[in-house]
Structure formats: structure tokens, C-alpha cells
Amino acid sequence: MKNKIIIVVIAILVISFLGALWINWQSQPGKLDAFAKCIKEDGAVFYGAFWCPHCQNQKTMFGKSAKYLPYVECSTPNGQSQLPVCKDKDINSYPTWEFKDGSRLTGEASLTELSEKTGCRLP
């Protein structure tokens, strides 16, 4: 009985420690926060689909700063169709980046390409 109590206490301490580390990590700014926010402020839009591996790669380039990207989900929840917002914009492949001048980049765009298209500085 005593061993079970010790195991439970150790498990609680380990879980608490890991939770504290996770909270601390989440509260730290991402390296590309300012860059991602600038892209959004510049009027660029990132069209993608949840099932698209290239869209996931694009988000991964930004790490935890991806939450600031101007992302528009194009897929219906079942992944079988496209939402009207993307049909109306004639988005045919993912990812597609659209910029304020009306130009587009399709496929995974490098951070350098996004910087050049938006005028946003990379850190």
C-alpha cells in the first residue's frame, strides 16, 4: 500500500513538472511571430486544406508562429469538397498564397519568397 502511494505521488509530481514546462514553452514568443503578423498585416492570404501535407509543411516552417498566419481553410470537414470562400477565389491547389497586388504563389513558399512578396523582414 505504501509503495502505491509513493508511485502516485511521483506520477503527480512528474505530470505537474511536465505541465509547467509546457505552459512555459507556450508562453514564449515564436521566432517568426513578427514576420507572420507582418505577412497578415500586408494583406497576404494563405489558402489551404487540413488534409494537405504541403500546407502542414508550410505551417511547420513557421513553428509556433503559424498561429499568426492569415490562414483560410478551404476544405469541408469531410475533406470531400471545397468551401465557397475558396471556390469564389478560384483556388485550385494547396497551398496557395494570394498577395495584396493580386499575384499568387502555389505550392510551399519559402520564407524568403514570402518576405520578398510582402516586404516583411525575416528575423
Break the chain into its structural domains and give their ranges.
1-29, 33-118
**Looking at residue 23, what DSSP letter applies?**
H
With contact defined as beta carbons under 8 Å apart, do 68 and 61 qualify? no
Question: Who's near 47: CB < 8 A, 6+ residues apart?
Answer: 72, 74, 86, 89, 91, 94, 95, 96, 97, 98
- Under DSSP, is residue 81 helix (H, G, I), strand (E, B) or coil? coil
For the domain spanning 33-118, the CATH number is 3.40.30.10
36-80 per-position pLDDT tens digit: 999 999 999 999 999 999 999 999 999 999 999 999 999 999 999
Q: What is the DSSP letter of 40?
A: H
| Entry pTM | 0.77
